[in-house]
Amino acid sequence: MSKIILSGVIRGAHEIYARVEKKVNDAIAKYGAEKEVKLPNTAYYLPVIYGILGMKVEKLGDMLPVLAKCKSLLPPKVAENLWVPYLGHGLDAGMQTLFCFDMEEALKYLEAPIPYVLGEDPTDDNIWLGAADDIIMRKRGVEFVDGSAPGFAAIVGAAPTKEIAAAMAKELQEKGIYVFMAGSHKGQTFAEQLRDAGVQVGWPTRLVPFGKDTSAAIHAVGFATRAAIAFGGVQPGDYAGILRYQKNRVFAFVVALGEVTDEWYAAAAGAINYGFPTIADSDIPEILVTGICTYEHVVSNIPHDQIVQKAIEVRGLKIHITKIDIPVSYSPAYEGERIGRDAMHVELGGPKASAFEFCQMKPLDQVEDGKFTVVGPDLADMAPGSVHDFAIWVEVAGRNMQADFEPILERQMHHLLNGAEGILHIGQRDILWMRISKKSVAAGLSLKHFGTILHAKFHNEFGKIVDKVQVTLYTDKAKVAELLEKARATYREREERLGSMTDETVDTYYSCTLCQSFAPDHVCVITPERPGLCGAYNWLDGKAAFEITPTGPNQPIKKGDVIDARLGQWIGVQSFVYQNSHEAVPQFSAYSLMDNPMTSCGCFEAIVALLPMSNAIMVVDRDYAGMTPSGMPFSTLAGTVGGGSQIPGFVGISKFYIGSKKFVSAEGGILRVAWLPKALKESMADIIRKRGEEAGCADLLDKIATEENATSEEEVLEYMTKVGHPALTMDPMM
């Protein structure tokens, strides 16, 4: 390995250690060793230290043994007349650099004001976001699980110009790759260059500005480390498992823009431990042998218009892109794009107009594939700032198409259209609200291009069931009103058909093992009355997915004979789960929280947890960041439940499942719910009220506590006693 590089790594590591040691000692002198220190809303402490060493840094004094570990990893400084150091020295120096950065960044959260914005989006006066909390990590982590985000680029430094920075960012966005930004070069940062070029940055657009210091790059490594623990079930302290997971499952790379300093060398060595190679635009020595990284470790002197493609090649990413003939860029990265009133050319639907989207199956001879028609004014004909009624009417035909698949295709329109730059799509069915940007209309975007997108993506993603796609876009007010009534009649028919489907009326369920890319032993069993825990897949989705990809993650499961109807156990399901969990889950109960519950991968929308003192349960969703009566916030609970574990008394679920008649029915179902976050309770109020009435407790909703009534189990029990909660008189759960 290059002596020049390793000498720089070790010099940088010594400088970083000395700096961080002083900062830690200064902080202890100022605040005391017992002062709490933490990153925002995370159960993973300082995640790189926690993941690699298994050490929990909860207060300043906890940093002292970590510093001692860092010092033990520091190799001696390089003597010019000796042909050392070797690879191991450099990797140790790199790892201690990551530990130092983890502590250095955590110390910033003791400052007043905190130098980072707490949330997904920058503010007008602060672009830097710092560490992602666990809500963001899980929300965005799902995209790495399902493949819509193939990997991430950690960019340090700055491009020569803001135009080059914008072009690089756009290329990465178009490939769906997240961009994590930190560090500066000659006083400039990549993130600020993007902002100056008018590019939206933040988690929603996959362009994430962590911080101006090089140390802020640790938040990218911390994100990856938490993913291994949360989704992969790797135990904190299992450093080999963490690093193996990163190399094989987290496809990340470093792009160094500008003169590479000793600090950058040290940080890059830390990334190499994780299997993340470095690609540089400057002329530095290269490390082209394979070994720790999948292919090369350091590749240099790459032109800016080739650096993204070279990085993808070196890291071994597999990028799947469907080229769509529209005048704007297209990528999942644009799904989070915001279009404010100042940037908006036109609004379609929303609170001031009617709009809907509809997909209908037709015979093959009644659909003309690739026909796109606009009835009414097109975008260029609409006055800037105007609001219009709108309808998207899609007709599909296919030899394997079924009426049950219509709503599945219909739901896909949301993210398919949102993937186009300059299109904002909110809502579904007849609550549609869209905005189209001035920039996209100026580029030539037409409503016909909506048809181009849906035609291309339906053929690409649903080609096994869709042979023909025809799209008509309506902006004629009278025609929209006429078709809206027809669409609503079909919506009602579908709901009645779905409402009559139960777990008992079908003989086949569907699996989902999509998350095994992150949680190898997890198997979701999807039934008509229990959707996937991520909330993205119901039984019909599983059925359609199997038709589309017979060898994919959604496989049919023949129920077979009933073992225990109350618990939800069937011979065929037990056998399937056992085999497909790599024999890690010998028994599985679909309806029980206490008796062999389903495993959880980390993508769940909510967690059900036993409240033993209360003989009841609580449900907390990932949007609630406060303390729960279990004594743990969602982030801590999620760290316990996720990773493919089967833990009696805890289970990950979708929010929709709360309203199912099969919701933990083995323990009494909805009548066991004693606590919900207020926002979740309000969003589920109608279905909870309905299920309560069916179970003989018409006022159940009022008897469920929220954080306004209770944040400890003792307070929940007190509230339950005051209101006469039904769980108090039910059979013991333990």
Sketch the domain layout of the chain as residue ranges: 3-315, 332-486, 508-729
Give the rounded percent of residues in the chain with a pLDDT score beyond 70: 98
* Mean pLDDT (whole number) for 127-131: 98
pLDDT digits (tens, 9 = 90+) for 92-106: 999 999 999 999 999
Find the mean pLDDT for residues 237-262.
94
Q: In angstroms, what CA-CA distances link 410 with 332, 359, 362, 484?
A: 18, 5, 14, 15
> Is pLDDT of 84 > 60?
no
Question: Looking at the DSSP assignment, which residues form a beta bridge with residue 355?
Answer: 390
C-alpha dist (Å) from residue 324 to 115, 434, 448, 724: 41, 20, 13, 60
Q: Which fold has domain 332-486?
A: 3.30.1650
What are the start-end ranges of the H helices in 426-556?
438-442, 448-462, 477-499, 539-548
Q: Is there a common fold for 3-315 and 332-486?
A: no
Q: Model confidence over 272-306: pLDDT tens digits? A: 999 999 999 999 888 877 778 888 899 999 999 99
- E strands of 317-452, at which residues? 344-349, 355-361, 372-375, 386-388, 390-397, 423-426, 433-437
Cα–Cα distance list, 258 to 15, 168, 268, 315 (Å):
20, 15, 14, 21
Helix (H) / strand (E) element for 686: namely helix 685-694
Tell me the average pLDDT of the chain: 93
% of the chain residues with pLDDT over 90: 78
CA 51, 54, 55, 56 torsion-angle sign? positive
At residue 520 the predicted structure's pLDDT band, cuts being 50, 70 and 90, is confident
Written out in words, the top-level CATH class of the domain with range 3-315 is alpha beta
Q: What is the pLDDT of residue 321?
A: 67
Q: Stretch 330-359: mean pLDDT, rounded? A: 94
| pLDDT level of residue 85 (50, 70, 90 thresholds) | low
**Weakest mean pLDDT among 42-51, 490-499, 667-676:** 490-499
pLDDT at 83 over 70: no
Q: Mind listing the pLDDT tens digit for each residue in 5-37? A: 888 999 999 999 999 999 999 999 999 999 999
Question: Would the pLDDT of 1 be above 70?
Answer: no
CATH of segment(s) 508-729: 3.40.1470.10
The arithmetic mean of pLDDT across residues 438-455, rounded, is 98
Cα torsion through 725, 731, 732, 734, rounded to 10: -130
Rounded to whole angstroms, the Cα distance separating 566 from 555 reads 24
pLDDT of residue 293: 84
Higher pLDDT, 499 or 140: 140
pLDDT, mean of residues 658-683 = 97
Range with the poorest average pLDDT among 239-248, 313-322, 369-378, 483-492? 313-322
- The span from the CA of 675 to the CA of 701, in Å, is 10
pLDDT at 145: 73
Q: For position 82, what pLDDT does the model report?
A: 62
Reference 458, options 402, 403, 515, 398; nearest CA is 398
Task: Tell which wins on pLDDT, 464 or 166.
Answer: 166
Residue range 574-594, pLDDT digits in tens: 999 999 998 999 999 999 999
Record the tokens describing residue 616, joined without a space: 């009841």
pLDDT at 307: 97
Angle value at C-alpha 677, between 671 and 678, nearest 5 degrees: 100
Task: Summarize pLDDT for 104-127 with one digit per residue, the tens.
Answer: 999 999 999 999 999 999 999 999
What does the alpha-carbon distance between residue 477 and residue 434 come to, in Å, rounded to a whole number? 16
The position carrying tokens 């040290």 is 266
